[in-house]
């Protein structure tokens, strides 16, 4: 869904009373973050939806604003909070990371009150919204050079009720496959489960794509989350289960240079399959990459630049 200038102007006029620009103190500066926060007259659970955690993942942002348009007048149970652009400094600079500290907000766990700008930003989300939510659906997608398949990604927490909910959501709402990683005490999901909040990452829309298909997938996931929380009566959940993988692996290069992928098609691969190679700028070094096990490609870089330890291919393997 693309906004014309005229339509965007109308949307702003009709939404201004529903979306608040919240001032967030990040220590070195104060930023504004748009927040839609609506509590229904009908009692129910609370869903937090975030998008734009990476500032250049536009399908998730478009989908979040679409949901705000729908939910500002719709009937549902409980409370829904939608933050369509979390990393507003990154959005302004058209980058995935937060330019204020060079960090990726998605990778700072639950944040820190006295940390860097990204730490404080995530801590604000957790303290203000997540600790009061039953589920946190974090919408993501591939950046400018990442080809990606749509999939759901969650983590075991050892909190039985949370694990059952998250695993079921992944298995029944991912288009082709999902990832449910084993328990890790220090993970974000495990920490949030102590406050009875389930965390799930939704990936759709590679290469900064804002296609209708990618936006629609995120939109469906929000509706599915509301459905599984009994906030609405309809959703796309079915009895169909997709393959659920538990092992995540990333392939990166030790040298800086040029990346030549064998293929940028999202596909299943076999152990030993050639994935691509990195050549140094002076062509004196070449590093070839081969699959370490049978796996499903999650995303692959299609751009040419390869920095030291940059993720070039990410895979999932070992079915549950």
Indicate the domain borders of the chain: 5-228, 248-319
| Tens digits of residue pLDDT in 38-51 | 999 999 999 999 99
CATH topology of domain 248-319: OB fold (Dihydrolipoamide Acetyltransferase, E2P) (2.40.50)
pLDDT tens-digit readout, 225-235? 999 999 998 76
pLDDT band at 14 (very low <50, low <70, confident <90, very high): low
Cα separation of 111 and 120, whole Å?
A: 6
pLDDT single digits (tens) 135-167: 999 999 988 889 999 999 999 999 999 999 999
Cross-strand bridge partners of residue 198: 135
Closest by Cα among 266, 150, 147, 139 to 204? 150
| pTM (2 d.p.) | 0.91
For residue 15, the model assigns a pLDDT of 52
pLDDT confidence of 210, banded at 50, 70, 90? confident
- 77-104 burial string, b = 16+ CB within 10 Å, else e? bbbbbbbbbbbbbbbeeebbbbebbebb
Distance between CA atoms of 12 and 189, rounded to whole angstroms?
Answer: 34
> What CA–CA distances, in Å, run from 199 to 61, 131, 134, 154, 265?
18, 11, 9, 7, 29
Average of pLDDT values for 234-246?
79
Q: For residue 185, is pLDDT > 90?
A: no
Distance of CA 185 to the CA centre of its chain: 21
What CATH number labels 5-228?
3.40.630.10
Alpha-carbon dihedral sign for residues 259, 262, 268, 274: negative
**Segment 255-311, tens digit of pLDDT:** 999 999 999 999 999 999 999 999 999 999 999 999 999 999 999 999 999 998 899
Contact 48, 129 (CB under 8 A): yes
Q: Is the pLDDT of residue 7 over 60?
A: no
Q: What pLDDT does residue 2 have?
A: 45
User: How much is the pLDDT for 238?
Assistant: 56
Among 83, 78, 36, CA closest to 233? 78
- Does the pLDDT value for residue 243 go beyond 90? yes
The DSSP code sequence of 20-40 is: EEEEEE-SS-EEEEEEEEEE-
pLDDT at 191 over 70: yes
* pLDDT at 274 (0 to 100): 98
Task: Please say if the pLDDT value at position 208 is more than 90.
Answer: no
State both tokens at 187.
């993970």
In tens, the pLDDT along 57-114 reads 999 999 999 999 999 889 999 999 999 999 999 999 999 999 999 999 999 999 999 9
Mean pLDDT of the residues in the chain: 92
Judge whether residue 131 has pLDDT over 80.
yes
């Amino acid at each position: 869904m693309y906004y014309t200038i005229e339509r965007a102007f109308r949307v702003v006029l009709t939404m201004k009373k529903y979306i608040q620009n919240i001032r967030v103190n990040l220590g070195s500066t104060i930023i504004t973050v748009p927040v839609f926060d609506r509590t229904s007259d009908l009692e129910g659970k609370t869903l937090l939806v975030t998008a734009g955690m990476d500032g250049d993942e536009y399908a998730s942002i478009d989908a979040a604003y679409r949901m705000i348009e729908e939910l500002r007048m719709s009937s549902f149970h409980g409370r829904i909070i939608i933050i369509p652009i979390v990393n507003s400094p990154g959005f302004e600079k058209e980058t995935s990371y937060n330019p204020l500290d060079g960090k990726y907000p998605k990778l700072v766990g639950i944040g820190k009150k006295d940390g860097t700008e990204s730490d404080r930003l995530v801590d604000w989300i957790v303290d203000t919204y997540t600790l009061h939510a039953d589920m946190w659906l974090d919408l993501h997608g591939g950046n400018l050079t990442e080809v990606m398949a749509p999939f759901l990604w969650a983590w075991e927490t050892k909190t039985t009720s949370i694990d059952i909910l998250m695993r079921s959501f992944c298995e029944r709402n991912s288009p082709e496959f999902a990832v449910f990683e084993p328990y890790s005490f220090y993970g974000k999901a495990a920490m949030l489960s102590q406050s009875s909040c389930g965390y799930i990452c939704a990936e759709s829309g590679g290469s900064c794509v804002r296609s209708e298909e990618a936006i629609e997938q995120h939109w469906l996931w929000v509706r599915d989350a509301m459905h599984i929380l009994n906030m609405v009566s309809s959703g796309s959940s079915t009895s169909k289960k997709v393959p659920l993988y538990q092992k995540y692996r990333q392939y990166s290069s030790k040298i800086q240079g040029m990346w030549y992928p064998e293929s940028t098609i999202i596909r299943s691969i076999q152990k030993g399959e050639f994935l691509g190679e990195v050549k140094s700028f002076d062509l004196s070094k070449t590093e070839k990459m081969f699959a370490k096990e049978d796996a499903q490609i999650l995303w692959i870089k299609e751009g040419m630049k390869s920095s030291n330890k940059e993720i070039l291919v990410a895979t999932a393997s070992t079915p549950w």
